[in-house]
């Protein structure tokens, strides 16, 4: 009897879905908003380390903690930002609960196909929580500004960069942030998860989506 796989097995496509702790199965190639749950996002992001884990402290600096910081920075850079805009900032890296936090050089090496997958996933997340599938360009630039400021703080606080190096890669802190008390001390995963969920719930309440 032949040990060779059958033609049907050969033709079977590889599994492209991720099973979540909620029981949802999210298809990475065709993500559905129905399969997106905030608890899964918060749990995953609290266990995904930025900087490939190359940071000081007893814990990795999680994407959940970074996301909360970016949302906070938006309030400093744009005090009149709406709850919807702040929710978009909080969820700006939400897709990383599935694909992880790939450093920018690796994303560039992977090229367009990865970006397309990332965009589809982010759109599904936005739709699930009542946000525009595509972030408006003005808001995207604002979030990018906050994201770079967060990276600057993280770089000099926990990732071993000098101030000179950080300014070379991410620029100086915008003036509204110079006097802000910005803390990038890594939190335990459960604390980062709960802080992320707290911000999500507060913004949901402000949006009337309890």
Give yes or no for residue 107 having a pLDDT over 70: no
- φ/ψ of 69, rounded to 5, equals -65, -45
71 pLDDT tier (thresholds 50, 70, 90):
very high
154/54 Cα distance (integer angstroms):
11
Question: What is the rounded distance in angstroms from the CA atom of residue 77 to the CA atom of residue 108?
Answer: 28
pLDDT tops 90 at residue 108: no
The mean pLDDT of 80-95, rounded to a whole number, is 97
Residue 45 pLDDT greater than 60, yes or no? yes
Residue 181 has pLDDT above 60, yes or no: yes
Kindly state the average pLDDT of the residues 91-120: 77
The model's pLDDT over 1-43, given as tens digits with 9 standing for 90+, comes to 555 555 555 566 677 788 999 999 999 888 999 999 999 999 9
| CATH number belonging to the domain at 32-206, selected among 3.30.70.260, 1.10.3210.10, 3.40.50.300, 2.40.50.180 | 1.10.3210.10
pTM of the full predicted structure? 0.88
Question: Once rounded to an integer, what is the mean pLDDT over residues 158-176?
Answer: 95
Residue 162 has pLDDT above 60, yes or no: yes
Query: What would the pLDDT profile of 118-140 be if each residue is shown by its tens digit?
Result: 889 999 999 999 999 999 999 99
CA dist 93 to 40, 62, 98, 146, 160, Å?
14, 11, 10, 13, 23
């Amino acid at each position: 009897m032949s040990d060779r796989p059958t033609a049907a097995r050969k033709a079977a496509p590889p599994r492209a879905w991720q099973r979540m702790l909620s029981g949802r199965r999210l298809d990475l190639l065709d993500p559905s908003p129905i399969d997106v749950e905030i608890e899964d996002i918060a749990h995953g992001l609290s266990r995904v380390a930025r900087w490939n884990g190359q940071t000081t402290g007893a814990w990795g600096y999680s994407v959940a903690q970074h996301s909360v910081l970016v949302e906070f920075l938006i309030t400093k850079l744009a005090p009149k930002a709406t709850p919807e805009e702040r929710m978009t900032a909080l969820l700006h890296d939400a897709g990383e609960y599935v694909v992880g936090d790939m450093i920018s050089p690796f994303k560039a090496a992977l090229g367009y196909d990865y970006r397309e997958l990332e965009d589809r996933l982010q759109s599904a997340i936005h739709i699930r929580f009542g946000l525009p599938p595509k972030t408006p360009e003005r808001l995207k630039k604002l979030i990018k500004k906050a994201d770079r400021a967060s990276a600057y703080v993280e770089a000099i606080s926990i990732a071993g960069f000098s101030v000179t190096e950080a300014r070379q890669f991410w620029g100086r802190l915008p003036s509204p942030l110079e006097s802000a008390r910005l803390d990038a001390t890594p939190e335990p995963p459960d604390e980062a998860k709960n802080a992320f969920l707290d911000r999500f719930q507060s913004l949901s309440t402000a949006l009337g989506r309890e």
